[in-house]
Amino acid sequence: MRHQSCLSLLVCLLVTLVTASTLCAQVTGSVYFPTTPGSTWNYNAEEWTMTGATQALIPGTETVQVLSDGSTFNSIISLSNNNSVTSYTSYVNQGQAILVSGSQITIVTKDTPIIPGLSYWSETTGINTYSPAQLTFPSSIVTGTHETSDSADTLNITGTTHYIDPYPFDSPIPATNNTSQQHVDILVGLVEPITVPAGIFQALKLTMTITSTDNSGTSTTTVDEWFASGVGLVKMIAYTYDRDPPNQTIMQTRELVSYKVSVSTMQQLSVSISGTGTVTSNPDGINCANGSQNGCSAPYSKDSTVVLTATPSWYSTVGWGNCTVDANDVKKCSALMDADKTITAAFSVIQKPVLIMGDQGYDTLLAASQAVGNNGTIMARDTYESAQSEPLVFSNGFNVILNGGMNSNWSATGSFTTMKGTLKIKSGKILVKNVKIRL
């Protein structure tokens, strides 16, 4: 399955150009990865690919462009040979489009024109999904830094063969689905002068080693890359050792010819969470949970407004930092993206002696009984004592649970909550647990 090895390399090379931190999971711009919409890079390219019945290193070009959303990238490769026949996922003679968006890589391949002596041409689509995301650029650019990641790479290929003779018809290519284990290791090197057609750049060298293992064996790809500040990828040389034992080297190269980095129209929003809860955003982009880095950062258009919504655990409240809290809903806050921003969401356990599950805390059972809705649950701590007589009256026909004996973390202790006063049920149903009533 040589094509799987080629695809893994193809994916990593493209995304190394356009992704700042993790493969597909989150696109983040940086000085080494300008990701503003409209930015383009043009490269001289070489690809080890099929030509006729053999493989050879074929020259060509690659153009990469950041699309309007700032998180999707389009790459088109054109090679010089007109007599190549390709496997489902190899580079082709006329061009190949690659889209990077969300958690997937989509590769669209077309074989044109018809190979002499053959009576068909094909179109295929390969989708790679990584779980969790691969690392393609280290978080630290200090020389000598090593970073690694592991993920499962699932490749799904579909396509169509277009037959010409003896009569034209289309035939679906049998779908394939293959999962390999990917290990990525990145070593940060030195900043050194690099000469390419676009000029001379002081560029940071990274060496990336990708090991891919599936039922067919193991392949290892070594990639040397050079990145210039404010520019992006300026040069790349890749060596792929095909399966066990290594018996062939497949080389790919890139040299920057020209580029245009647009003035930034995107700002990065990051969310930092403490306590138990999640934060989501409108527009989409943030879906962040405590204890996870995934979904906690996203780019947004400059000067746009992003609304964040917190979902605390049922016994917690949220406090915001560096955003404007909604006066009508403290679980929401808004951020004006006039600069890169980090928003903090601190979830804390409700310290009031009484709470309504999923709502908020109260000082008295009386106040909670007046605020609870249908099918609501009132919870009271085992330390709660009424300061004065509380006449609890339920007359709105609601079904309510009144649950006492809770500790400071709102877990049942087997003890009781004692209230002073009366409890009257005029309509509805009230289920009372672990509550003592003193007149």
Question: How does pLDDT run across 227-256, given as a tens digit for each residue?
Answer: 888 888 899 998 876 545 555 576 788 999
C-beta atoms surrounding 54 within 10 Å: 6
Q: Is the pTM of this model over 0.85?
A: no
37-54 residue pLDDT tens: 788 999 998 877 655 556
What does the DSSP 8-state code read for residue 135?
B
- In the prediction, which pLDDT does 22 show? 26
- Is residue 70 scored above 70 in pLDDT? no
Higher pLDDT, 224 or 264: 224
- Is residue 107 scored above 80 in pLDDT? no
Per-residue pLDDT band at 5 (split at 50, 70, 90) = very low
H or E element in which residue 2 lies: helix 2-18
Task: Write out the DSSP string of 303-348.
Answer: T-EEEEEEEE-TTEEEEEESSEEETTEEEEEEEE-SS-EEEEEEEE
Span 391-402, average pLDDT: 89
Q: Phi and psi (nearest 5°) for 36?
A: -80, 140
Span 275-287, average pLDDT: 87
Per-residue pLDDT band at 344 (split at 50, 70, 90) = very high
133-184 residue pLDDT tens: 666 667 677 788 888 888 888 888 888 888 877 778 888 988 888 899 989 8
Q: Phi and psi (nearest 5°) for 292?
A: -130, 145
Higher pLDDT, 366 or 139: 366
Distance between CA atoms of 126 and 3, rounded to whole angstroms?
Answer: 11
Q: In percent, how much of the chain has pLDDT > 70?
A: 76
Top mean-pLDDT range of 10-19, 194-203, 361-370? 194-203
Q: What residues are paired with 51 via a beta bridge?
A: 54
Q: Which contacts qualify for 214-221: CB closer than 8 Å, 24 or more apart?
A: 214/1, 214/4, 214/178, 214/179, 214/180, 214/181, 215/178, 216/1, 216/4, 216/243, 217/243, 217/244, 218/243, 218/244, 219/4, 219/5, 219/8, 219/243, 220/246, 221/5, 221/8, 221/9, 221/12
- In the prediction, which pLDDT does 6 show? 28
Span 294-323, average pLDDT: 85
Span 388-415, average pLDDT: 86
Q: Alpha carbon 273 to chain centroid distance?
A: 17
H or E element in which residue 370 lies: helix 365-371
Per-residue pLDDT band at 114 (split at 50, 70, 90) = low
Distance between CA atoms of 63 and 168, rounded to whole angstroms?
Answer: 33
* Two tokens, residue 406: 């809770």
134-147 residue pLDDT tens: 666 676 777 888 88
Q: What is the mean pLDDT of the chain?
A: 77
Span 384-399, average pLDDT: 85
**Greatest Cα pair distance in the chain:** 100
- In the prediction, which pLDDT does 175 show? 87
